[in-house]
Amino acid sequence: MAYQPDRSQYPSRKPDGSLDIDLSSGKYLKLWQGPQHPGITGNMSVELTVCGDEVIEGKTHVGYLHRGFEKLMERRTFIQCFPIVCRICVPEPDFNEYCYAAAVEELAGLEVPERADWIRTLILEMGRINSYLMYLGGQAGALGQGVIGQWTTYVRDLMLDRFEELSGARIYHMFIMPGGVRDGLPDGFDQRMEETLREIESTLADVKDVMFTNAVFKKRTVGLGYIDPAIVDQYGVTGPTARAAGVAKDVRRDQPYLVYPQLDFEPVVGQDSDVFARADVRRRDLLMSVDLIRQILARMPRSGAVMAPLPNVLHWKIPFGETYIRGECSRGEYGYYLVTDGSGYPRRVNVRGPSYTHAMALLERLIVNCNISDVAALMVSLHTYPPEIER
Amino acid sequence: MRDLYDRLKTAFPLGELTEQRPDLAFVTVAKEQLRSLLLHLRDQEGFTHLVLLTAVDWLEEGNFQLTYLMNNRLACRDLGVRVMLPRDPASMDSIHDLWPTAATYQRELREMFGIDFPGSPRVDEDFILEGWIRTPPYRRDFDTLKFSDEVFAPRPGRASSDPTEFMKQQLYPDKT
Amino acid sequence: MSFEWIKIPYALLTLFIVANYGFLLTAVMAKIAARVGRRHGIPVWQNYVDLIKNYGLRSSITHGVMFYLGPVFRLTGGVGLLMFVPTIYGTEMFSNMSFAGDLILALYFVFFGSLGMALGAGESGHPHSAIGVTRGLSQVTAAELPFALAVYAVAVQYQTLSVTEIVAAQQGGILHWTLFSNPLAVAAAMLSFLGTMMRPPFDVVLAPQEIPIGPPTEYHSSYLALMQTNRAIFPIAKIVIYMNLFFGGAASWPVFFLKVFLIYLVSVIVGVVFPRFRVEQSIRWFLIWAVPLGIAAILMV
Amino acid sequence: MSLSDVLSPFSAWKNLFRDPVTIPDPLNDRPGAPRYRGFHQNDIEKCIGCGTCEAICQNAAIDMVAVAEIATKPGDSGLRPRIDYGRCCWCALCVDVCMTSSLSMSNEYKWVDHDPDAFCFIPGVDLKHWDSSELGYRRPEGHRLTGIERVAMGELEPEVRADSFVEIVAGYDLEQAKLEADRCVSCGLCVATCPTHMAVPEYIATIRDGDYEQGVRLLYQTNPFSNVCGRVCTHRCETSCAARHEGDPIAIRWLKRHIIDQVTHDRIKQIAAEGRVSKPSGHQVAIIGAGPAGLTAAFDLAKAGHGVTVFEALPAPGGMMRYGIPEYRLPYDKLDEDVDVIRSMGVEIRCNTRVGEDISIDQLREQHDTVLLSIGLHQGRSTRIPGSEHEDVVSAVELLRRITFGERFDVPTTVAVIGGGNVAMDIARSLARMQRQQHGQVGVTLVALEAEDLMLADREEIDEAREEGVVIIPSRGPRQCLIERDALTGLETVHCVSVFDDQGRFAPNYDDSDIQIHDAGLIVEAIGQAADHAFLGESLTEALEWERNRIRIDADGRTSESWLWAAGDAVQGPDVITAVAAGHRIAASMMEAFAGTSAQTH
Amino acid sequence: MKDDFPTPPVRDELKKRVVETPDGQTIEIDPLRDYYCQSAPTVMPAAYSKIVEGLFNWARAESLWILGFGTGCGAIEMRPLMTPRFDAYRYGIQWRPTPRQSNLFVISGYLSVKTLKRVIRSYEQMPNPKYVVGLGSCTINGGMYFDSYNTITRLDQYLPVDVYIAGCMPRPEALLAGFEELKRIIRAGKAEGANQYAEQFDWYKANQKRVIHDWDMPDYNW
């Protein structure tokens, strides 16, 4: 059931293809959503041109969180880059750590111990759960249902406790280093993790009852923000957003990394490609991550090195080369393009965050003909995190 | 990857193939051939997904390297297409009509590297920065620390001693 | 009918009790809603602190006369509504200034506040205020329609427009309440009630994720304090009407407190668990579900 | 859309009857996890102020600052890290890289202040309530960002080397040297400890970069005896190396040798000559003794354009480097290379010229502007125990000199060596080699006054000596040499309980009940050396100021006579690198003196 | 610092233009001049009576309304703060979506130049008295972005700050500790940042203008 707006009000187009909008006619209104606006994900803004309640043009404005990571990394040594990369994406920082570490390891020819690979996979799945929990709260919140956010943030907090005891920090874990991970699991971690997973599962059951089996929620989201499977590649759509459109893209299966080949899972795919389908795909993906964590904890080796011996990091040089490392984060394909030139500093790092394509080109396309009320829900459904757009 | 390279080689003048991994390789192509190569890759070879488009500043050689990373998601492999551009003035054909997302990448390159993409939508608008009037920041000749120190003025009161010099001063005060 | 001046201090006393009850009740409701979210929620006295804080803010800028009058009108709506409805049935002290035709007056006051707000918020110049106001007006219109129908049904049922007399007619046992004598009208009115309590799924006016906070976006300091006071009084006043029309009124303060609490709770029970409708969805919802009920109620009578 | 879609959401209300999950008092109830990376702690006693934390901090959050409570001493810069919490990102790289594990993190995380300048503090010095916190991030077991194990040096096996004077140490190859150089954290603590302040971090960096010519350049800035020092230096730098606290110190000495081994001798000569003043200044300097001090001064002075003549009593230059150190530790050709570089600066070395016999000191004074006395310690001290005047009781220096001359005299099957220093080891091992060559077996007994762990010799010398068959018996004092029918038969020793008294003075305390006899056809005394000052003549000896049998000098090496400087072992004690440092100082001092005067005409 | 790179042309809508007003006057408009921000705020005295001011200060301390503007990464820890685990509502803290109704601005971490502009606009819209809490290293001395060309290093150059919280990022508990400290300062009547801003307006404005060149903004919402 695709959303079919009434196009009779549509403004005509100028010869150069842009919309012919005369603001002084009083028919149209420029409305800024963000950056200081509760209905925006993070610190970004959308410049809406509205006619009545209908959005006829939307432009994403980013850059409010730009710190110039790619430049900063060019003047930091390879080890000094490691604490900084996680800041590129706040809610799920671990992918930055992994992709960066893997890129450095590949170019430096480091062999990571197997145990470290298992722990890395564990961390990535934990981060995925965190990110999805945050998304679920945000998706319900964008539609005015605050209680889901209360529950999911609480269980996310429990997961942050697990992160804290594992890595020593709540948000920026800085645990996955080039060469491996910093340390093994603490004592009793498995048991506490199992308790947390159970709490998550019970909360998700509640979420299913209250959010997904909800007449109003369905009314708002079914049919909203339809993405045609045909434009998935054109617009660089990846991850759950693509899977909700029936395109079974999942880097974990397509180009497996870490220990994913040894785990038993099947990508979650949806059909309807609307906001509801995307939310549902993410909910099921979350449950799959819970299952993956159980598999990992049951099968991971418990002893052995967690770090490859590093050269002295204070003057670590990496020979000339370039590579691209990708991983499947909760929002889609996350990748690091790293170029080295034989010196102690990266020549160039480019971070490919999935939000980059989702929040710009795709959002600007989907937002047309959408109701003002739905802008927030639509944007949240693409699960974008602004800091990874502008870095 | 080698077979693909050999196939492409018959139709396009390509540089050497750099095989980074079994599923990732890089190849260099001339500026003029890029568009037809990308089209060929997209329509004939199944490289439908433009993963990223970015630039590397080889200041010493006076070149920009543009990297178009293409992904064939059925075959699960990637091909990075490199194009070398003279650094000044840097200008490149836009591919926003092939992939709408490319317009965003091109806006970023325009702002951060000063590479022009004539015809790309909104390419001259501010993208990330606002009111930036200096050298595009991602160019290698832009010194970000120097800029920051001058414009943002770090908090005074910080000073550090070098252990070597400090020890010489302390232990051999007359032999400095 | 001679006017008794003693009614004025009595009415002010009513106002005082209701306002305080309103402050405490909203805080208690916030705590209850917070419990659903598994937390404690605000302290019960928080509303007072906020009120003092807002009165204590030093700067207050204005966007013109109407901007200033907006909250005043709004408060007038709330106070007026309360003033012309008997708060406690059967007591001289707390039946306020109810007259024979006060039902119509009460309906008028319900609208009055929204209109005042519309003028004020429009003056503030913030586009989100303006959008919020247009949403508010369309929503109020749609939501008050079933209420008006229900009131009409009740008026026809009891053959009077005086709230006092309607309450009087419901005395003598729970089965005499309109709730049981005319359930369709009550159903229509309660659906409308949901729509006017600014809670999901009908909080399209404030809709924080859409139009930050709607009409009051530009309001601050004492303007906001005034509106907060109104927000304590107005819902209670409205619930008093509902209580009087449909739930047998209250003959004493304890009964009053209990009934108001329970009626208020209805909106919270629904509000906490649903997301928000879009404007046109909510209007359509009222027209499809509530209005036919109201019409049916009239037909039944 | 079904009825359940309307009713199901109300199930949320079940939470009304559950307890809230809110933490009652989050400000006090929530300590950080045991591994939490909270605020920094620093054990300032353990900290050595190496600044590695500062180097790795990508936020420039750490400054090394002087702290009143901490004095600078070798191996401890006296600086301590000051952390700016306006910069820190709590990545704990500083903890990971800390060379002594002094830096750690507590699990405390609340710090609020209205003053932005208050967030700079020196952990451990500016006291904080979390200083004694037990929990918090510590570097995990085995998690190191720098190498800890020294790259093993290739050495001849004991059975191969025991009967040969071939050099034992093989030297690092390129790969090994890179690995070892990679461990250096470039803190520079060693620089101040090195008497001549060699630019150690910098020349080690040249190994990593493969730029050996630059390495040689750096070496020659402070030390013209890199071949020698790369082999036999006492490497005090390694005792102050930051890496020694949690692993092996960097093999600075071997790395130096590696650099010099990688560049051809001719190229070294060119590099050493860079910056040489070719125009003669006209000043003439006489240097008595071609040891490390004298030749270093000669090198500096000649490079600056002054005329230098070195007078050496023995047949070849090098002094103790040649006549005191056995060939298996320092091959003569390597020493010759160093001397050759110095000669190539224009230094004239007159060997077999003994001042006082072949030329008088007064002549020297007349013919030169200044004179440097660097005669070394070439006379062995005697224990003066009963029987020590026997002809088979000899001093170690004398014996070593004879070995250097190439005399392959007969060594008896049993030898006793008295002394626990490096000279004792040298002679013991040399004699052991000759015994093995002559008799096929070793019979050397070494008795040292000190206990095993207090012996003055380097640890590796002791170990290697044992490997080569030398029997080392610590804590024994010589009592008398046993002589039967004019022939030496053995050495009698007693157990030494302690060497020094409470005030730290030399006053050995013996346990007379514990007596041992060591068979010995030859007894070698290696308990110290003395200088021979007879050539100075009476008047000059009178004129000079003396201090415990040594000529008194000031910090620049000047004696009380304005034309005479003194340096080297004779005034400062036995150590090549100290002598080199003195040589530099004296050269600088002399040039300072020249700066005021015009050249004499001779 | 002078760069040789050519200055990009000024956008059309940012050029100065002359417009005719409805009553016939002609005025010149310079979009790059910040009309809003150039009107200096006035210093607002405290209530005359000490007791009243004391009461107000108590109420201000117990009713901290945070502006819902997540300026940097620290915003992610604001959410746990307002949810079951930490439930800051019980301390009188809540979000407001509009600056007009907020009296506390939590600068959650680094500020890019682009955000700083919006932050200043928002701050100036907040009613006096208003408070600023700087969260994390970045607000104190630049934090890990000390060398970035796009983030400010010292928040106190641009806005008066009442409390700083160390950390990167500070945990919710640390934030609560910061709010407690702020409450103490407010109760003591020492949180006069708004008046300080008004008094030293020229100094603050000069600092702001040194880093922000383009003052063009829609005139509402921040």
Domains of chain B in sequence order: 2-171 (3.30.460.80)
Query: Strand D79-84 relative to strand D120-121: parallel, antiparallel, unpaired?
Result: antiparallel
Among C160, C189, C163, C147, residue whose Cα is nearest residue C86 = C163
How many angstroms separate the CA of residue A64 from the nearest CA in chain E? 5
- CA–CA dist C141, C143 (Å, integer): 6
Kind and range of the H or E element at A334?
A: strand A332-340
Q: By mean pLDDT, which of C238-242, D577-581, E210-214 is the weakest?
A: E210-214
Q: What is the pLDDT of residues C129-155, one digit of tens each?
A: 888 888 888 888 888 888 888 888 888
Which residues of chain B have a CB within 8 Å of the CB of A339?
A: 56
D18 located within any domain: no
* pLDDT of the residue at A16: 66
Q: Is A104 helix (H, G, I), strand (E, B) or coil?
A: helix
Contacts of C165 (CB under 8 A, 6+ apart): C158
Which CATH number fits the domain that encloses residue E109?
Answer: 3.40.50.12280
Instruction: Compare E35 and C133 and report the one with higher pLDDT.
Output: C133
- CA–CA dist E193, E180 (Å, integer): 17
Scan for tokens 């101040």, then name that residue. D192
Give contacts of A 242-261 with B, CB under 8 A: 249, 254-255
Please check whether residue D16 touches C, CB under 8 A. Answer: yes
**Mean pLDDT across chain B:** 86
Please check whether residue A80 touches E, CB under 8 A. Answer: no
Cα atoms in the 13 Å half-sphere on the side-chain side of C283:
12
Q: Provide the domain count of chain E.
A: 1
Please give the residue of chain D at the shortest CA–CA distance from C31.
Answer: D16
Q: Is E104 helix (H, G, I), strand (E, B) or coil?
A: strand
- CA–CA dist B166, D35 (Å, integer): 35
Q: Are A63 and B73 a contacting pair at CB < 8 A?
A: no
* pLDDT of the residue at D598: 60
**CB-defined contacts B:D, below 8 A:** 65
Q: Are E146 and D88 a contacting pair at CB < 8 A?
A: no
**DSSP string covering D494-512:** EEEEEEE-TTS-EEEEEEE
C-alpha distances in angstroms, C88 versus C110, C249, D167?
20, 7, 113
D201 and D256 both lie in a single domain: yes
* pLDDT of the residue at E6: 46
CATH topology assigned to domain A89-342+375-386: Cytochrome-c3 Hydrogenase; chain B (1.10.645)
Confirm if B98 and B119 have CB atoms less than 8 A apart: no
As a dihedral over the C-alpha atoms of residue A218, residue A219, residue A222, residue A225, rounded to 10 degrees, the angle is: -120
User: Which of C36, C40, C269 is nearest residue D15 as measured by Cβ atoms?
Assistant: C36
* pLDDT of the residue at A11: 65
- CA–CA dist E35, D283 (Å, integer): 79
* pLDDT of the residue at A1: 39
D218 and D162 both lie in a single domain: yes
Q: What is the pLDDT of residues C45-66, one digit of tens each?
A: 898 998 888 888 887 777 777 7
User: Which of C38, C49, C212 is nearest residue E84 as measured by Cβ atoms?
Assistant: C38
φ and ψ of C234, to 5 deg = -60, -50
Q: Is D199 helix (H, G, I), strand (E, B) or coil?
A: coil
Indicate which of B108, B147, B148 best probes the interface with E, i.e. most E CBs within 10 Å of its own CB. B148
C18 located within any domain: yes
Q: What is the pLDDT of residues E141-193, one digit of tens each?
A: 888 888 888 899 888 989 999 999 998 888 899 999 999 999 999 998 888 88
E217 located within any domain: no
Task: Please classify residue D296 by burial: count the beta carbons closer than 10 Å to its beta carbon, then call 0-12 exposed, 13-18 middle and 19+ buried.
Answer: buried
Q: Provide the domain count of chain D.
A: 4
Confirm if B59 and B113 have CB atoms less than 8 A apart: no
Confirm if E163 and E191 have CB atoms less than 8 A apart: no
Query: Strand D112-113 relative to strand E163-165: parallel, antiparallel, unpaired?
Result: antiparallel
How many angstroms separate the CA of residue A25 from the nearest CA in chain C? 16
Q: Report whether pLDDT(D328) > 80.
A: yes
**Mean pLDDT across chain C:** 82
> What Rg, from alpha-carbon coordinates, does chain D have?
31
Q: What is the pLDDT of residues D61-109, one digit of tens each?
A: 999 998 888 888 888 888 899 999 988 989 889 998 898 889 999 988 8
The pLDDT-based confidence of E219 (bands split at 50, 70, 90) is low
Give contacts of D 17-56 with A, CB under 8 A: 21, 32-37, 52, 55-56
Q: What is the pLDDT of residues B73-129, one digit of tens each?
A: 888 888 999 999 888 888 888 888 888 888 889 989 988 888 888 888 888 888 888
D416 and D502 both lie in a single domain: yes
- CA–CA dist D18, C35 (Å, integer): 8
Indicate which of A216, A224, A276, A367 best probes the interface with C, i.e. most C CBs within 10 Å of its own CB. A216
Task: Please classify residue C172 by burial: count the beta carbons closer than 10 Å to its beta carbon, then call 0-12 exposed, 13-18 middle and 19+ buried.
Answer: exposed
CA D58, D64, D65, D67 torsion: positive or negative? positive
**DSSP string covering D307-347:** EEEEE-SSSSTTTHHHHTS-TTTS-HHHHHHHHHHHHHTT-
φ and ψ of D493, to 5 deg = -130, 155
Scan for tokens 């801003």, then name that residue. E197
* pLDDT of the residue at E1: 40
C283 located within any domain: yes
Which residues of chain B have a CB within 8 Å of the CB of D192?
A: 164, 167-168, 170-172
D91 and D117 both lie in a single domain: yes
**DSSP string covering D528-548:** -EE---GGG-HHHHHHS-EET
Amino acid letter, residue D140:
P
Confirm if A91 and E70 have CB atoms less than 8 A apart: no
Indicate which of D53, D58, D72 best probes the interface with B, i.e. most B CBs within 10 Å of its own CB. D72
* pLDDT of the residue at E7: 47
**Nearest-5° angle of CA E171, CA E95, CA C283?**
135
D236 located within any domain: yes
Q: Report whether pLDDT(D467) > 80.
A: yes
- CA–CA dist B42, A102 (Å, integer): 28
The ipTM assigned to this model is: 0.86
Contacts of D2 (CB under 8 A, 6+ apart): none
- Give me the mean pLDDT over the D343-360 stretch: 86
Among D94, D97, D90, D103, residue whose Cα is nearest residue D36 = D90
Q: What is the pLDDT of residues D238-277, one digit of tens each?
A: 888 888 888 888 888 889 889 988 888 888 888 888 888 8
* pLDDT of the residue at A228: 87
Q: Is D438 helix (H, G, I), strand (E, B) or coil?
A: helix
Which residues of B lie inside 8 Å of E (Cβ-Cβ)? 114, 124, 126, 128-131, 133-137, 142, 144-148, 150-155
Among D512, D515, D431, D441, residue whose Cα is nearest residue D473 = D515
D164 and D243 both lie in a single domain: yes
Q: Are E150 and A66 a contacting pair at CB < 8 A?
A: yes
* pLDDT of the residue at C244: 82
Q: Which domain does D423 fall in, by range?
A: 379-529
Helix, strand, coil distribution of chain A in percent, nearest 5: 50, 15, 40
Confirm if A334 and A99 have CB atoms less than 8 A apart: yes
Q: Is A173 helix (H, G, I), strand (E, B) or coil?
A: coil
Q: Report whether pLDDT(E10) > 60.
A: no
Please give the residue of chain E at the shortest CA–CA distance from C207.
Answer: E97
A contact chains, 3+ CB pairs < 8 A: B, C, D, E
Q: Which domain does E204 fall in, by range?
A: 50-211
Cα atoms in the 13 Å half-sphere on the side-chain side of C5:
0
Confirm if D405 and D598 have CB atoms less than 8 A apart: no
Among C26, C59, C17, C19, residue whose Cα is nearest residue C222 = C59
- Give me the mean pLDDT over the C254-266 stretch: 89
As a dihedral over the C-alpha atoms of residue D496, residue D501, residue D504, residue D507, rounded to 10 degrees, the angle is: -60
Which residues of chain A have a CB within 8 Å of the CB of B128?
A: 62-63, 66, 390
D contact chains, 3+ CB pairs < 8 A: A, B, C, E
D534 located within any domain: no
* pLDDT of the residue at E14: 63
D218 and D291 both lie in a single domain: no
User: Which of C277, C279, C280 is nearest residue A216 as measured by Cβ atoms?
Assistant: C277
In DSSP terms, D67 is beta-bridged to none
**Nearest-5° angle of CA D430, CA D431, CA D435?**
125
Please check whether residue D9 touches A, CB under 8 A. Answer: yes
Task: Please classify residue D34 by burial: count the beta carbons closer than 10 Å to its beta carbon, then call 0-12 exposed, 13-18 middle and 19+ buried.
Answer: middle
Contacts 24+ apart (CB under 8 A), D509-513: D510/D477
* pLDDT of the residue at E33: 54
Instruction: Compare E35 and C16 and report the one with higher pLDDT.
Output: C16
Q: Which domain does C188 fall in, by range?
A: 7-300
- Give me the mean pLDDT over the D448-466 stretch: 86
Q: What is the pLDDT of residues E92-135, one digit of tens each?
A: 898 888 888 888 999 988 888 888 888 888 888 888 889 999 98
Indicate which of D197, D202, D585 best probes the interface with B, i.e. most B CBs within 10 Å of its own CB. D197
Percent of chain D with pLDDT over 70: 99
For chain A, 391 residues long, give each residue's pLDDT as a single digit of tens.
Answer: 344 545 545 566 666 666 777 666 667 777 888 787 877 777 888 888 888 788 888 888 888 888 888 999 999 999 999 889 988 888 888 989 999 999 999 999 889 999 999 999 999 999 999 999 999 988 888 888 888 989 999 999 999 999 999 988 888 889 999 988 988 899 999 999 999 999 999 999 999 988 888 888 888 888 888 888 888 888 889 889 999 998 888 888 888 888 999 999 888 998 888 899 999 999 999 999 999 999 999 998 988 888 888 888 888 889 999 999 999 999 888 999 999 988 889 999 999 888 888 888 888 888 888 888 888 888 889 888 888 888 8
Domain assignments of chain A as residue spans, ordered by start: 89-342+375-386
In DSSP terms, B82 is beta-bridged to B28, B67
Sheet of B63-72: strand order equals B14-21, B24-29, B77-86, B63-72, B49-58
- CA–CA dist A371, A52 (Å, integer): 9
How many residues does this entry show for chain C? 301
D69 located within any domain: yes
Q: Provide the domain count of chain C.
A: 1
